[in-house]
Amino acid sequence: MKRSILFLITILIFLPFPGVALERFDIITTAEMKQMLHDRETGKIDFLLVNALDKMIYNHATIPGSINIPLSSYKQYSAKLGTQKDKLIIPY
């Protein structure tokens, strides 16, 4: 029991706090996303919109033009990301 608690405490110490981890990413607002989707339709910008939720959720509700790569099956579907290393990928 003591080992389990010690292990859990050790893991928790090394995990980044959610607020700190989000500093590495730019947050896109709904208005910005709508504009980006419009710009993609007109050819002004090219990006890949990735729904990382389960396939059942993707089939029920998704942003039009997005692809589904469930986080739990990332390795299986990662080929959908393409080979362009500099292409903008927006996960949600």
Per DSSP, the residues of 12-43 read HHHSPPHHHHGGGS----HHHHHHHHHHHHTT
Asked if residue 11 is part of any domain, the answer here is no
pLDDT score recorded for residue 41 = 93
Q: Please indicate whether residue 85 or residue 40 has the higher confidence score (pLDDT).
A: 40
Asked if residue 59 is part of any domain, the answer here is yes
Asked if residue 73 is part of any domain, the answer here is yes
Q: Please indicate whether residue 32 or residue 23 has the higher confidence score (pLDDT).
A: 32
Q: What is the DSSP letter of 89?
A: E
pTM summary value: 0.64
| Average pLDDT over every residue of 40-67 | 88
78 lies in which domain range? 46-91
Asked if residue 36 is part of any domain, the answer here is no
**Band of the pLDDT at 13, cuts 50, 70, 90?**
low
Do 50 and 69 form a contact (C-beta atoms < 8 A)? yes
Using the predicted structure, report yes or no on whether residue 51 has a pLDDT greater than 90: no
pLDDT score recorded for residue 12 = 61
Asked if residue 87 is part of any domain, the answer here is yes
Asked if residue 13 is part of any domain, the answer here is no
Using the predicted structure, report yes or no on whether residue 88 has a pLDDT greater than 60: yes
Domain count, the chain: 1
